[in-house]
Amino acid sequence: MDELTQLTEYCRALGAAPLQAETMARQLLKRVDQLAVERKQSREESMTYLLRLVAQGKSGQVPPEFCPNVDKLK
C-alpha cells in the first residue's frame, strides 16, 4: 500500500468523506515535503509531526506551538 492510500485511509478513519480524505492526504503529503525542506529534517520526522497535529486537532487539543504566549502580548 502506498503513502497516499495509507494517508487516505487514515483520514477516512478520522471521519472524512472519501473524496475529502483523498484531498487531505494529498495536502498532507505536499506539506510533508515542504516541511522537510524548510526545517532540514527527514520526511519521516515531518510526517510524524503532521500526523500528531492531525490527531490532536481531531481530538480537540491545541498543540503548544499554536497557543499564544500571553507573556509576549504584555
Residue 68 lies in a domain: no
- The answer to the question of residue 71 being in a domain is no
Report the phi/psi class of residue 40: left, alpha or beta, with left for phi > 0 and alpha for psi in -120 to 50.
left
Residue 1, C-alpha cell as written in the block: 500500500
DSSP code for 64: G
Mean per-residue pLDDT of the chain: 90
Is pLDDT at 16 greater than 80 in this prediction?
Answer: yes
Which residue range forms the structural domain that includes residue 13?
3-60
Residue 43 in domain = yes
Q: What is the pTM of this model?
A: 0.82
Per-residue cell: 67: 497557543
Task: Count up the domains in the chain and report the number.
Answer: 1
Is residue 67 domain-resident?
A: no
User: Diameter of the chain by CA atoms?
Assistant: 51
**Does residue 17 form part of some domain?**
yes
| 27 pLDDT higher than 60 | yes
